[in-house]
Chains A and B, each alone.
Chain A
Amino acid sequence: MINRRGVLALTLAGTLTLAACGGGGEKAESGGPVKITVWSWKPASDGLAAVAKDFEKANPNIKVDVQVIGNPAIWEKITVGMAAGGKGLGDILHIGIDYLPSYVDKFPGGLADLNKLGAGKYKDAFAKGLWPTVTGKDGGVYAMPWEVNPIGFFYRSDLFEKAGIDAAAIQTWDDAIEAGKKLKEKTGASLIGLNKPAAGSMDMDFYQSLLQQQGAFYFNQQGDVTLGSAPAVQAMTLIKKMNDAGIVADTSGEGTAKKLISSGKLAVLPWAAWAASYIPEMRPEQKGLWRVMQPPAVTSGGKRTAIVNSTHLAISGTSEHKAEAFKFIEYALTKPEVINKVFKEGGVFPALTAAYSDPMFSAPTEYFGGQPALKTFVDSLTEGADATFYSSDYARALKIASDAQTQVLTKGADPAATLATAAQQLAQQTGRKLAG
């Protein structure tokens, strides 16, 4: 008993030091080609691996080794590597926006400042709202935007029709709640699904997108806690309204969400751009039933777009081949034809705005009933979304906000009071100020 459970508690520091001994950082043999390693996860890594071959042909002196570390395993691996002073890290690291500020703030020097390698000239090349999030407090640029996920509103047109709802008339989330009540009555389907007790994993993307639509988040740009602010309360109140109206299905439990989707019990999936390829893969038999549009606004006339999250390529601060690594990043992420190949092979929506002029972004999608599905997202990005400041304490904020949502959804707690307590707790745990 003691052996199985006990190892973890005390050997934390030891693990950190020792686990850093494996892998990475190979030196080039004199005269031979320089080898750079890339840490990523599937399926994005497939896209990168595909263009890495083209890159090697054009640059015979650089070899690119794309390693599939896996998500979420990659976060622990990067953490351990950085805690060990950068030993054993890959040269190029694929990092999500939810982790990037933590690495930048907590491990100074852990990631290379790409400004020094010439990243500055791409400042305006990516979708609006992204560049501020890759820029550190010291003005350094610590990653290049690769993937961006604007929010979408995927809905079952057949169910909407059956309930007599015109999707185009839904302008605000309050409209959507009224539509949801009708849907429930006529078709038995719930408007959306949430993992209410957060069993197994947290389900905060929807709540966050409601914040992001209002240009708000758990923190503001100064890093103060805004979890108790008016937009945060408004977003949680909307979710409570939906839940009280009985139009939020509980998706907790193994495979519950998939089951609800296949049996037509979920009318709307408030998912981001990645779902444009994921839904057709997951439910090929529901071809023609789904449509996508921009989500309704939180307040009438408010913003209907939001960037849910983004992922990037960064260079390890201890890499011995920073210049070569940046050359590859530049090749893969800043050329429309290359990033679109990455998109086709790896399914990640490009952050590079010049990429959107490719005809595939306005082409009709058969699965979505001939609707140009990707255009919805391109429109959102062109309209422009606000930057989201995840801060280095995002993981903590996420957990505390998720606990608050669970209390509201399962115990009927009052959103304002619950979030006020949560904000206080977050401030206390992180030593941050509550925003005024």
Chain B
Amino acid sequence: MTLTMTRDAATRGGGSPRPHRPLITKRNIPYLLILPALLGFVSFKAYPILAALYISLTSGAGAARTFVGLDNYVRLVNDPLFWTALWNTALILVVQVPIMLLLALVLALGLNSPLLRLRGLWRLGVFMPSLTGLVAYGVMFSVILSKDSGLLNWVLGFFGVDAIDWLGSPFWARIAIVIALTWHYTGYNAVIYLAGLQSIPKELYEAAMVDGAGAVRRFWSITVPQLRPILLLTVVLSTIGTLQLFDEPFVITGGGPDNSTLTISLYLYENGFRYFDFGYAAAIAYALTLIVAGFGLLQLKLTGGKK
């Protein structure tokens, strides 16, 4: 209303009256609608990603930055700590992801059961760990895992198990990370599975029951195939997440002891913010990106997820 009036006033004010072309047309409205997201993407994602690529080809910091070509990448390949980090990450990935996803599936089946009472409460309980903040999480686990006064060793003591040096032994420190990760993310995956389970049409089960299929048969022939895309999604997400693992080793073990829980992201952080070696840190970031992309493609290929 106001707009029209002003425009009229302007036209009357002088100059040749031109046919007005509206700013917003059918053609450009989709672009206008995605503009805020696009601006956000360009300034907070695209720019840093490209800047990091350039930084990875340089050495030094601030005013002392010089172009060094692929030096950082050559150094990376020859860096034993990078391979240690890669190996640690792979170990944790191979052990933790299957355990977590299996557990999540079992939890989801339980939560989805019509026999379960106080369903909301249980679901909240399962999901709660994924909402825990980094610092609270770190403090909690250092108390639980403490060798002499930790909750876990206290409980194990009742079963006659000797105190385990959770954070002091390379082997147990890795197990500690696996436990923490599983605690943190199982609920998250369980909720995804739960949503998947609820979208499976009941008619399929009813028809199978009429045909005389037992519970186990129904699980393997209906639930699993129907959940397949969601299973694939969680496997890919968890793999990528674990490859980028940072929080847990950062707050619980600090990468130790003797680098046994050093992960790629943690090594990246140390190089960037402890050693001020931004060029090298950016090179690690790009190496990590390549690895993640490679894994993602491989998984999609292997599981035929493209169909």
Contacts and interface: CB of A to CB of B under 8 A. Distances in A.
**A and B associate in one complex:** yes
Contacts of B49: 10
Contact of A102 (B47, B276, B285): B276
Given A10-B285, A102-B276, A410 B241 contact: no
Interface string B63-87: 1100000000000001111000000
A150 interface: no
Contacts of B273: 76, 79
A335 to B, nearest CB: 34
B244 A9 contact: yes
Contacts of B282: 12-13
A361 B238 CA distance: 60
B70 to A, nearest CB: 16
Contacts of B256: 197-199, 406
B272 interface: yes
Nearest to B50: A13
A139 interface: no
Interface in B253-295: 253-254, 256-259, 265, 268-270, 272-276, 278, 281-282, 285, 288-289
Interface residues of B, number: 62
Contact of A9 (B64, B254, B285): B285
B176 to A, nearest CB: 10
Contacts of B150: 253
Interface size class, chain A: 35 or more
Interface in B51-68: 51-52, 55, 60-64
Contacts of A102: 276
A4 B247 contact: yes
Interface stretch (B22-30, B139-147, B212-220, B223-231): B139-147
Contact of A199 (B81, B148, B254, B274): B254
A23 interface: no
A interface majority secondary structure: helix
Contacts of B193: none
Nearest to B59: A431
A197 to B, nearest CB: 3
Interface stretch (A54-62, A104-112, A370-378): A104-112
A83 B142 contact: no
A352 B184 CA distance: 51
Given A10-B49, A83-B278, A109 B63 contact: yes
A105 to B, nearest CB: 8
Contact of B62 (A85, A256, A392, A411): A85
B288 to A, nearest CB: 6
A197 B168 contact: yes
Nearest to A15: B48
A298 B167 CA distance: 32
Given A102-B276, A109-B63, A425 B80 contact: yes
B127 interface: no
A393 B241 contact: no
B164 to A, nearest CB: 12
Given A106-B276, A406-B256, A252 B168 contact: yes
B257 A1 contact: no
Nearest to B260: A197
A109 B61 CA distance: 12
Given A1-B241, A8-B265, A13-B48, 18 more contacts: A1-B188, A2-B244, A5-B244, A8-B268, A10-B49, A11-B45, A12-B55, A12-B278, A17-B48, A197-B168, A197-B169, A199-B167, A253-B142, A254-B142, A396-B275, A399-B270, A403-B258, A428-B79
29 contacts: A1-B238, A5-B244, A6-B240, A8-B265, A9-B289, A10-B49, A10-B285, A12-B48, A12-B55, A13-B55, A14-B44, A17-B48, A18-B44, A76-B273, A79-B276, A109-B63, A197-B165, A197-B168, A197-B256, A198-B258, A199-B167, A199-B253, A200-B253, A253-B149, A255-B146, A395-B274, A403-B258, A406-B257, A425-B81
Interface of B: 44-45, 47-49, 51-52, 55, 60-64, 78-81, 130, 142-143, 146-150, 165, 167-169, 173, 185, 188-189, 237-238, 240-241, 244-247, 253-254, 256-259, 265, 268-270, 272-276, 278, 281-282, 285, 288-289
